[in-house]
Structure formats: structure tokens, C-alpha cells
Structure 1
Amino acid sequence: MDIIINYLQSIDPVLAAFYASLFTWILTAAGAALVFVFRGMNRTLLDGALGFTGGVMVAASFWSLLAPGIEMSPGEGFTKVVPSAVGFAAGALFIFALDKILPHLHINFDKSEAEGLQSTWRRTTLLVLAITLHNIPEGLAVGVLFGGVAAGMPGASIGAAVALAVGIGIQNFPEGLAVSMPLRRQGVSPFKSWWYGQLSAAVEPVAAVAGAVAVTFFTPLLPYALAFAAGAMIFVVIEEVVPETQLEANTDIATLGFVLGFIVMMTLDVGLG
């Protein structure tokens, strides 16, 4: 791990953000690849995995994004928290707007329950877009943190950026499976199911590079940008991830998965950051 951290610290921050987000995409593709081995997935396991995803995202929002953002903000008392409060609200509202505009369908819902603007797109496309919504703030968070490291801002460290990428990568594994497996059960071929599963994370490198470039050129925006990514992630967890785990009788498993995910991400951030 030290070798990886030293290498990422020695290269351009935008390139480092791209490599880190590429790693998160690869784990998504690896999770989706399980459709080549299994045709179905136990719903209890899926809910536990989605709960784990939510726990990682919530922990990352605080430990990797909000806390460093508040630390590097100028001023004292209430003044110090203003950039994070504004950025957090903006991030949540950004995903809220995308949620209302972009046609998408949550994993365990009927096509008639698709959200966003009305569309004639196929169920497959709508499912992929739903997970893509999850991945935009994740890629953005990785990029913004690497940009903060390059800017030399206090509270932003290469170890914390790597920890965030590792945590998001781990929780992306079940996300890839969560897209590909329902498609496989519907009779879609294994390759097409895998293709759509990995495609849902293709947006992460794009968002990561955009985030890194933005804060590299506009350093004063960094506390706002970190909180923006956190607000976007929290909105996704509360509006999409958690409700999907509560549809059947697996609420306890999902909750335990959430706790485990939070512990894993917290441990990674503190241990590496």
C-alpha cells in the first residue's frame, strides 16, 4: 500500500484521480462478472450488500469529505462551517435535480415505477442509469480529494484519498452485481448483463477527473467541493440505497451490512489518512 501511495503522490493529481477511479470501475466490473458464474442471487445477500454500500458512503461523506472540508475552511465558530453547509446543500440539490430529470429505475421496482421524466427507454437502460446516479458523487469525491492533496490544503492527504478510493471500490463490487444479476434473471445474456453492470461505473473516472481539475484551478472552492460530494452521496444513500434494502424482510441484515460498511470505511480512512 505504501508503494501505491508514494506513486500516486509523485504523479499529476488529475492522473492520480483518474487511476484511483479506474480502480473503482474495475471492481464494479469484477462484481458484475459474477453473472458468468451465477444466474441468480439470494435477495438477503443483496440487501446486506446494499446496506454495506450505504455504510461506506455515509462514513466516507464524513471522514473523507466533510471533516477535512471543515478543517481547511477559514474563520472560527459558525463562520468556519459555512462553506461545508453550503456545499453539502448544493450537492444534495444537484442529485435531487438529476433524480427528477434523468429517467431511471431502481433495482427491485417495476418499470411502471420508473422515476424522472417519462421515457420509452428499455428497463435495462433505466436500471443502469439508476446506478449511474450513485456513481457520479463517488467519482466526484475521489477527484476532489486528490485535487485537494495537490493544492496542499490542510486536512487533505494522499492516504485519505487512497482510502476513499479503496472504500468506494469495495462497495462498488456489490453495486456491479446489483445491476447485472437482475438483468441475468430476466433472460439477458451473461455478456450483456456484465456489460451493463460495468457500464454503470464508467461515469466515475469522468467525474473524478472533472472534480480534480476543478479544485486544482479553483483552490478556494475546495471546502465547498468536498461538502458538495458529501451532500450528493448522502442524498443517494437516503433516497435510493436505504429504501431498496427495506422492501422485504431483510431489514436487520441490511442494517448490519450498513454498520459493517461504516466501520470498514472509517477504519480505512483513519488507518491510511
Structure 2
Amino acid sequence: MSNFHIVLMGFFIGIIGTGAGGAITYLYRKPTNRFLSTILGFAGGIMLSVVTFDLLPHAFEIAGLNVGMLGLIAGVLIVVFFEDILPEKGKRNNYLKEGIIMGFAIAIHNFPEGLAVGSGFMSSSSFGLSIALVIALHDIPEGIAMSTPLSIGGVTPFKNMLYAILAGIPTGLGTIAGVYMGEVSPFFIALNLGIAGGAMLYVTCGEMIPESRDLYRGRISVFGMIAGIISGIIITRVL
């Protein structure tokens, strides 16, 4: 497979993966608070699972605990910074802010994923294809986690899918870097994974899960979160 086709593959899996997650908002037809609470809980649970069982362990494995923790702390501080500069005017705006921050975190996370695709194809086509498939499937719940709060905040399904697609573009950029830059510093990759993990962890634990409970006080939001965690485990451990 030529370098050009490898780069196209990187852009394709990023756009299709997160875009598919964003497209789920087309299924929302006058959603009730109960339904939104379930979806938000599910998205929060699946992101919590992906971060704790995939992103952070990979960061620790690549460059050690110290580098991964440095990235995690930096990711939390970045989110805190964005929280301070983004306006807070009502609950709807809070959901928009949550979706924007999650989108930034996903975009940051997608770049090192692209590095993995590019370097994987440099090793062998079969290895690169297997990595690309796993990453594409990983990106779907990330698109859901990004699009759900945006949808609750009033963003239309078309714009939601468009924003999710934009968040997937860094996967292609990372693929270019992985193909043409040769060996990439493990420190850089692990730091980026840690930053993305910290940002997602903060948004998930600090906003998504609590807000899923605020929308509907029944147990359904908890069941949604548990289902999300189980789905995340399956994605990160089985695929």
C-alpha cells in the first residue's frame, strides 16, 4: 500500500468513526429527559471505561507512569482553563461548553491514534489494517460522547455530525506524521494520550455523569452508565 493510500486510510477511519458517533443524534426525535439521561449516562460510562482501560494504560506503557500522569494533570488543567474562559449562561450553554471541551479532547486524542496507524502500516499492511479497524471502532463512542451534550444544548444533528467529523481529522494528520516522520518520540505520544485522558476524565466525572443524574433522578441513568462502562470494556479488551 502506498503512503498516499495509507494517509487516506487515516483520514477515512477518523472521519467515519467519530462521524458515525455524531450521526446518532439523528435518532433523537423529541427526546424525553429520561432518554437523554440514559444516553448521557451511557456516553459518560463508555468514556470513563475507554480512558481508564485504554488511553491511560497505553500512556503508562509507552513512556512510564510519570509521563502519563504529567499528561493527565495537564489535561485536567487545560479543561479548567477552558471552563474559565467559556461563558456560563444557563444549563443549555453548559451542555454546549461540555461538548466543545470533549471535542477538543477527542481531537487531541485522535492525533496519536493516527501516529499508531501510520507507524503500523510502516511495519506491515496487515498490522496497519488491524490497528485502523480497532481505532475506527474506538472513535464511535467518542463521537457519541461529544455529540450527546451538544445535542442537548440545541445543536442540530447535521452540525453535530459535522463537528464530530472535524474532531476525527487529526487522525489523518497523525497518520501523515507517522508515515513521514519515521520514529516518533514515545514521550510525545504518551504525553498526548495522557492529556486527552485527563481532559476526558474531568469532563466525564465532573459534568457528564452528574448531569445525567440531574436530567432524570431515576435509576435509568445509572443503568445507562453501567452499560456504557461494559461497552467500553468490550471495545478496549475484546477488539
> What is the TM-score normalised by the length of structure 2?
0.77
Amino acid paired to 2:107: G
Q: Which residue of 1 aligns with 2:207?
A: 240
Residues 222-261 of structure 1 aligned to structure 2 (within 5 Å): 222-250=189-217, 252-261=219-228
User: How far does residue 131 in structure 1 lie from its aligned partner after superposition?
Assistant: 1.4
Which structure has the larger Rg over C-alpha atoms? 1
Matched, 1:67 2:35: no
Superimposed CA distance per residue, residues 84-133 of structure 1 (whole angstroms, 9 cap, x where no aligned partner): 11011111111221222233668xx15xxx56xxxxxxxxxxx5454122
Q: Residue 193 of structure 2 aligns to a residue in which SS?
A: helix
Q: Which residue of 2 aligns with 1:219?
A: 185
Q: Residue 250 of structure 1 aligns to a residue in which SS?
A: coil
1:64–1:174 distance in 2 versus 1, CA, 3 Å: closer
Counterpart among 76, 85, 92 of residue 76 in structure 2: 92
Counterpart among 26, 33, 56 of residue 43 in structure 1: 33
| C-alpha separation in 2, matches of 1:268 and 1:238 | 20
**Identical aligned residues as a percent:** 20
Question: For the Cα contact (< 8 Å) 1:47–1:245, is it kept in 2?
Answer: yes
Q: Where do 5+ consecutive residues of structure 2 fail to align?
A: 121-126
| Count of equivalent residues | 227
Q: Residue 41 of structure 1 aligns to a residue in which SS?
A: coil
| C-alpha separation in 2, matches of 1:93 and 1:162 | 32
1:131–1:269 distance in 2 versus 1, CA, 3 Å: same
Q: Residue 65 of structure 1 aligns to a residue in which SS?
A: helix
Q: Which residue of 2 aligns with 1:169?
A: 140
Give the CA RMSD over aligned residues: 3.3
Structure number with the bigger relative contact order (C-alpha 8 A, sep ≥ 6) is 2
| C-alpha separation in 2, matches of 1:10 and 1:213 | 9
Q: Which residue of 1 aligns with 2:238?
A: 271
| C-alpha separation in 1, matches of 2:145 and 2:194 | 25
- Tell me which protein shows more helix as a share of its residues: 2
User: How far does residue 144 in structure 1 lie from its aligned partner after superposition?
Assistant: 1.1
> What is the TM-score normalised by the length of structure 1?
0.69
